[in-house]
Amino acid sequence: MTRTAALAFGLLLLLPCSGLHARTVYECLRDERLSLSTAPEPGARCKAKRVNDRKAKVPNFWGDLGPVRGNLYTTRMNGRVVYSTRAIPGWKEVAEPVKIHAPRDSWAHEGLGEFGAPQLNVFAAQFTAAAKRNGVEDAWLRAIAHAESGFDPRALSPKGAQGLMQLMPALSREYGVSDPYSSTQSIDGAARHIRSLMRRYKGDLVLVAAAYNAGVGAVERYGGVPPYAETEAYVEKVQALVERYRSALQKPVRRARRS
């Protein structure tokens, strides 16, 4: 066993079995060498390990392990970016001085707090109605609004995207949105656009998010999520937000007690 493998193995022994805010990383063995990965590695025997991010002193992929020194490699599996400490054929080495953090849905991710808490009371009736009318998920509509404009119906991007859902003028015309700064029209137009994208990509919500951000043309040109830093970050952000809104919308509403 190599020195690096021995070090990785020793560090893995410190992993807790569970935690209040835990996620899964993988200890993978191949060719008598251990590695750490955010997903099971092809051709390796991998064991899932629960990592407590809440106790991580430094934001990093490996939670309680602390920073893992050495090279890091990345690829995309099932629409998700994954990382490993093993040099795997076809995977790209993460070049310095790129600073790597934990996944965006992890407590160890230093930018997680920037997302803010789910906002369920902002344009609630419009989101509910548009979701039901167009057969799209309410959590997805709210996640897009959260990521795109922070629920600002007067938002205008440098590229010309307008309103709550940041529709480009061409999309507004396509979906009959006469006033892009009307929250009701913007949400309904976005819901119809998302429904169209879901049909095009057969329900692949990673590609739906990528196309919403970069456009259908870019997704078709690259055969998947375009290799734009902005789009890759956007897709991960929307995925994290969708899970937050799903959880928030499933919680029962507390009713005030009557005396």
Q: Give the residue from 112, 135, 160 where a domain finishes.
A: 112
> Tokens for 255?
């009713």
By annotation, the residues acting in catalysis are 148
CA–CA distance, 80 with 62 (Å, rounded to integer): 17
Is residue 177 one of the residues assigned to a domain? yes
Least Cα distance to 166 among 184, 144, 188 occurs for 144
Is residue 175 one of the residues assigned to a domain? yes
Q: Give the residue from 86, 112, 138 where a domain finishes.
A: 112
Q: pLDDT, tens digit, for every residue of 192-209?
A: 999 999 999 999 989 999
Residue showing tokens 């899964």: 24
Residue 105, φ and ψ in degrees, nearest 5: -90, 15
Is residue 257 one of the residues assigned to a domain? no
Q: Which residue has the higher pLDDT, 111 or 41?
A: 41
pLDDT at residue 12, as a whole number: 35
Q: Which residue has the higher pLDDT, 111 or 171?
A: 171
Q: Which residue has the higher pLDDT, 152 or 257?
A: 152
Residue numbers of the domain that contains 231:
124-250
| Same-domain pairing of 153 and 224 | yes
| Same-domain pairing of 87 and 149 | no
| Same-domain pairing of 194 and 153 | yes
| Same-domain pairing of 137 and 241 | yes
- For range 183-189, the mean pLDDT: 97
136 and 189 in contact (C-beta within 8 Å)?
Answer: no
Residue showing tokens 């050495």: 70
Least Cα distance to 108 among 56, 149, 32 occurs for 56
| Same-domain pairing of 128 and 245 | yes
| Same-domain pairing of 187 and 223 | yes
Q: Give the residue from 78, 112, 146 where a domain finishes.
A: 112
Return mean pLDDT, the chain.
Answer: 77
Residue % of the chain over a pLDDT of 70: 72
| Same-domain pairing of 30 and 144 | no
| Same-domain pairing of 88 and 138 | no
Using DSSP bridges, classify how beta strands 92-93 and 22-30 pair: parallel, antiparallel or unpaired: unpaired
Dihedral (C-alpha) 241, 136, 142, 245: value to the nearest 10 degrees?
-40
| Same-domain pairing of 228 and 168 | yes
Q: Which residue has the higher pLDDT, 163 or 35?
A: 163
Side-chain-side CA neighbours of 10 within 13 Å: the count stands at 8
| Same-domain pairing of 74 and 130 | no
Residue 77 has pLDDT above 90, yes or no: no
For the chain, count helices (H), then strands (E).
Answer: 8, 6
pLDDT at residue 193, as a whole number: 97
> Tokens for 197?
């994208």
99 and 157 in contact (C-beta within 8 Å)?
Answer: no
Is residue 157 one of the residues assigned to a domain? yes
Q: pLDDT, tens digit, for every residue of 12-30?
A: 333 333 334 456 778 888 8
Is residue 117 one of the residues assigned to a domain? no
CA–CA distance, 145 with 161 (Å, rounded to integer): 12
> Tokens for 118?
């789910």
Check which CATH number belongs to the domain holding 244 and give it. Answer: 1.10.530.10
The domain tally of the chain equals 2
Contacts of 151 (CB under 8 A, 6+ apart): 119, 122, 123, 145, 164
| Same-domain pairing of 220 and 140 | yes
Is residue 259 one of the residues assigned to a domain? no
pLDDT at residue 47, as a whole number: 86
| Same-domain pairing of 138 and 165 | yes
